[in-house]
Amino acid sequence: MPHHLTLVAQDLRLDVNLLDYAVLALYFLTVLGIGFAARRAVRTSLDFFLSGRSLPAWITGLAFLSANLGATEILGMAANGVQYGVQTVHYYWIGAVPAMVFLGIVMMPFYYRSKVHSVPDFLRRRFNGQTQLLNAITFTVAQVLIAGINLYALALVMGALLGWPLLLSIVVSAAIVLVYVVLGGLSSAIYNEVMQFFVILAGLIPVTVLGLVKVGGFSGLADKVRQSALGDPGLHAWANTGSSDANPLGAHWIGIVLGLGFVLSFGYWTTNFAEVQRGLSARNTTAARLTPIVAAYPKLMIPAVTVIPGLVALVLFSDLGEPGGPQYNYAIPLLMGDLLPNGVLGVAITGLLASFMAGVAANISGFNTVFTYDIWRSHVKKDKPDDYYLRLGRLATVGGIVMAIGTALIAAGFSNIMNYLQTLFSFFNAPLFATFIIGLFWKRMTAWAGFWGLLTGTLAAFACYILFKAGVLDLGTELNATFWGAGAAFVLDAVVSVVVTLVTTPKPESELRGLVYGLSDASIADDALAGDKAWFRSPIVLGVGAVVLGAVFYIPFI
């Protein structure tokens, strides 16, 4: 166990009993049972990688949300609640919901109706094989790194709360995810994610409610936050964002709106295949479009069980994040140990474990699909029988898990794992979004413009971060640096894409039908089902409602 974990483990150890372990054991058995049940439905590679494109919107929507509601979301956003206060809600109300709605209304029809199996496959059809391979490589690297974050977060919590050794915690959780994903593929991951969503809430709601009771309700919490290191700015979302030095986040409103709300947010939600894959498993185009929009409504409410506990931890544990004290990442575990009785404690621990496993399963199911289809089948071994790719997908799952165990140790070097995660997004998602969105709406953009724009944008994000760490660029906090790095990557990607387009030859329109806005493919049949035209199933109506609701939620915290 790393030294900084050992220092605080004794302070966090929970008094768990047989009842708590029984709840945990029941969860493990249920997860594995779902994997064995889903295995019977896996007959082809399409079944394994995309659930046979057969699932309803409410299933894929909850899985879409749960895949994102991993350990980094729960521990990281609670840590941000301690460190940055109410401004953490930007990650949800401007940094998630608008992009999720845009994905459902505008982009998901292109993904789904073109029958691509992944985001890199879409880039192959829109641009060329080189662009596909570049994105596939960066995506697989990112998924292994992010899966490592989830595994490390699990080890961090289980080691501190239950006394489990670091390596044991990582290997046990990785082995369980490995079994159910290898058995049932994406279907197993999705059905487990739906179950895990409710388990996560069952664990977090008692922490939130009992925490509020202990600090005197919302008014008591507000009074105590004003007396904390954050002060009154910790209770406001937009106050003082005209000056980056006058707010806890250390970010200017331009960085929040453009860096987080546009580039990072849209780059993540609209092009991250670990999320998009859930929509591609839906039963028809309407269900695919509704997938992220169904997820947007509960996403609006998640700050209640992440940010509020972070604020409660801020006022209850004054040494959080201080030298010699627990890391910000320990906010939720500290509250669990302080507030929950046995039995409920077991549910809360199980909820945390569910969040880790949901995140790892999403990363690994995306990894095995892109590695199998977009790297191996497209560039190494073409035209093999379907059984060959099904077996390869299962082997890729094993390989992805093994590499994630190794990358878990990288995450140990970050006090706030959400900062690390946002850095990865600025590297891999921001430039991809620029390439994707320009290619979607500008039919003149050429194949090589897609490749060179994506490559230079990615390198720009790396360069910006390195210059910040070296002290060459003064961008305030590490989190604010990722906002500006993402913006720089987007702008440079766009400029290079335009320049290369002007000196290269575009594809003919016949090759772009169904891949570019305004060029529909008449050969694609309408797959609407009875009832899809009802107003309450309209992606536009539901999507606009979610964005408006997010704006309304800001009003009390302006």
> Rounded distance, CA 532 to CA 283, Å?
12
User: Could you tell me which of 456, 489, 430, 103 has the C-alpha nearest to residue 262?
Assistant: 430
User: What residues contact 451, with CB distance under 8 A and at least 6 apart?
Assistant: 127, 128, 130, 131, 134
User: Could you tell me which of 300, 430, 275 has the C-alpha nearest to residue 359?
Assistant: 275
Which pLDDT does position 523 carry in this prediction? 57
Q: Cα dist. 401→69, 181, 405 in Å?
A: 19, 10, 6
Which tokens sit at 536?
């309450």
> Rounded distance, CA 119 to CA 100, Å?
16
Query: Which residues in the chain come in under a pLDDT of 70?
Result: 1-14, 52, 70-72, 160-161, 243-245, 412-418, 521-526
User: Could you tell me which of 157, 177, 152, 166 has the C-alpha nearest to residue 409?
Assistant: 152
Which pLDDT does position 548 carry in this prediction? 95
Crossing angle for the helix pair 273-280 and 344-369, to the nearest 10 degrees: 90
Instruction: Looking at 370-385, list the stretches that DSSP marks H as alpha helix, in order from N- to C-terminal side.
Output: 378-379
Which residues, in sequence order, are bridge partners of residue 282?
A: 55
Q: Are 463 and 476 in contact (CB under 8 A)?
A: no
Q: Are 77 and 310 in contact (CB under 8 A)?
A: yes
Which pLDDT does position 309 carry in this prediction? 93
Which residues, in sequence order, are bridge partners of residue 516?
A: 519
Long-range CB pairs of 396-399 (<8 Å, 24+ gap) are 396/367, 396/368, 396/371, 396/372, 397/178, 397/181, 397/182, 397/364, 397/365, 397/367, 397/368, 398/178, 398/182, 399/371
Q: Are 203 and 75 in contact (CB under 8 A)?
A: no
Burial of 190 (0-12, 13-18, 19+ CB in 10 A): buried
Which pLDDT does position 229 carry in this prediction? 84
H or E element in which residue 554 lies: helix 539-554
Which pLDDT does position 384 carry in this prediction? 87
User: Could you tell me which of 102, 392, 32 has the C-alpha nearest to residue 269?
Assistant: 102
Task: State the DSSP string of 291-340.
Answer: HHHHHHHHHHHTHHHHHHHHHHHHHH-TTTTSTTS--GGGHHHHHHHHHP
Beta strands in 174-252 (DSSP E): none
SS3 assignment, position 360: helix
SS3 assignment, position 474: coil
Residue with tokens 């906010």: 331
Which pLDDT does position 105 carry in this prediction? 92
> Rounded distance, CA 54 to CA 57, Å?
10
* CA of residue 521 relative to chain centroid, distance: 32
Long-range CB pairs of 57-60 (<8 Å, 24+ gap) are 57/282, 57/286, 57/287, 57/288, 57/290, 57/291, 57/294, 58/294, 59/190, 59/191, 59/194, 60/190, 60/278, 60/279, 60/281, 60/282, 60/287, 60/288, 60/291, 60/294
Residue with tokens 């409660």: 312
